[in-house]
A and B are shown apart, each in its own frame.
Chain A
Amino acid sequence: MTPTAPADAFTPGAYAARARAWLHDNLTDALRTDRALSEPASLAERVAFEAEMHKAGLAGITWPKAYGGHGLTLREHLEANREIGRAPVPNSVNSIGKELAGPIIMAVGTPAQQAEYLPEILNMQTIWCQGFSEPGAGSDLAALRTKAEATADGWRVNGQKIWTSGASKSQRCLLLARTGSVQDRHRGLVMFAVPMDSPGVSVREIRSIDGARSFCEVFFSDVIVDEANMLGTPDEGWAAATRVLSIERATNRMYRPWRFQSELEHLVAVCRSDKAAYAVLKSHARELAEIRTEIELLKGHVETLVDSLLAGEEIGPRGSFPKFFWSEAHQRFTRLAFDIVSRFAPGVDGPLRDVQARMQEAYLSSRAETIYAGTTEIQLDIIANRILHLKKVA
């Protein structure tokens, strides 16, 4: 990797150009997500790359300097994310740490917890996973059963989590458990930062429809969690988490519209290199234009929310608009892209085979996008209940 400039050297106007130059110098072929058939980068290589990204000012942008961040605003975060989206950069292996656990710890963590946990997220020493969903509590999170009992040794945790992305690679779990009974619903929920090497924690990988093995089941069997690892008090942690989640829903992976555009540009550029593939592409011209318009409108959703947050406005349920919009729009795109690459001549190789593999994988993996982080149906419920305020009874 080339030496990285300290983030302090950046001025807001030059931020995008610096990000672009850094990615150009440091994003290797093995890391590129558009080289679907090449040997992928190892976890260690991805971790090292992300740590360098942070040093170069492309991660932790809005985090306070005291926690290892760059102390800048969402404006610079947006600038950097445009460039990250434009390039075939892999998704973070620590997005739960950076976009969920970190902000929650900043909101409710003690100074000691903040000092211990936060810098290690950005320098990639600690990868986090999210222990929220359970076999009986997906969209209806308040039905979760994992139990935390106060004992003389600390909190004793028993239960099972599922759809825990990256759990087998993680050092810590942001765990949501309950102190009382299931009937308490939202009351008595408590949040912990659980070391994944604690006795009694076991992980089983689940293979997802795209063939990946990043989803996991995590079992907690009489796991003792130190009081010092509780985030906020019972109730307080969950209340903070819901506030953070509403912002994160609006701002996480802010690069999406630029990434979708980049995927489209990849598809087009490769098809232009082959007469037969270009003929296929051209036969879908109008559908491609519709996808392109949706990408442009998604930029509007993202940039408008950034403006609102910079103006100090509450996002609240408005985060459901971009979540709903991007997930459905991307599924329309990947479905179209799948059809296009599936019509390539048999036996294509080189860049054509790369884009074919990338779009086939994207088609399958995008099925998750209308499910995770609140299903489409949950987003529509949020809009009906909290934005339109539609009555259910007269």
Chain B
Amino acid sequence: MQEKSWKPWALLGPALSAVFFLLVVPVCFIVVYSFWLRAPTGADIPAFQFGNYAKFFADFFYPSILIRTIRVSLETVALCLIMGYIPAYFFYQSQTKFKSLLLLLIMLPFWISFIIRTMSWINILGDTGLINYFLIKAGMLSKPLGMLYNEGSVLMGLIQYLLPFMILNIYVSLEGIDKSLIEAARSMGCTEWQAFKEVTLPLSLPGVSAGCLLVFVLTAGTYLPPMILGGPGNEMIANLIFKRVIGTLDWPFGSAISVMLLTLLVVIVWTYNRYLGIGQIFKSLQ
């Protein structure tokens, strides 16, 4: 077997070099750039100074976007958990022969264009959209209810995008529970609710926490829903980065904001991995 030891490395070569040169090295560039200076002419000057970070924290404007990003991410996590646990439990307990079809259906939006799914909330929540149309027709409203371009509509788009991730994570974890444990609890006199509370729920927590982490991380870096469904006051950190880099071509400042977003996520993922292990997350994605 010794002579074969080079083989896995040859197979891994292309993938490792792709990730190293196209991801690790470019991310290091962001870190380096975040210390550079921007000349009044717009040119970037190599330097080592913390001006870009100081600018971020100079007044409350930029930090408030960071805080909003964290708040919206937490809200999305909570809503996905509330909306996702019961369907996952339904898949686990259901005896229906359509179970695999139902699971496939919940994955289906994942295949469908993200921008179309996000944009379509305008068709539903807008002034001439589905909900307002029916409410006015039913005589419950005289003029349309403004449901668009606020945090609520952004959350709709986010949940629609992220809920399948939460459901699948919880489902995978529930599916791993030995059903005889629940039967044992029942035969010892637990009610169905007690058996759920004492056996099923605690055993599904790894999936719950993996789902929460994944949803948080994906929300914190999200660009499209706040851009399309949010108003000026719903900007998140990714929108700020895009505006600085593509809009005003302020590379050093854009890099500094990127570094802060990345640091936030790395700290969260690292802490999670330290205490709970990251492996669970990848299980559900298969």
Answer yes or no: are A and B bound together in one complex.
no
- Name B residues whose Cβ lies closer than 8 Å to a Cβ of A: none
- Name A residues whose Cβ lies closer than 8 Å to a Cβ of B: none
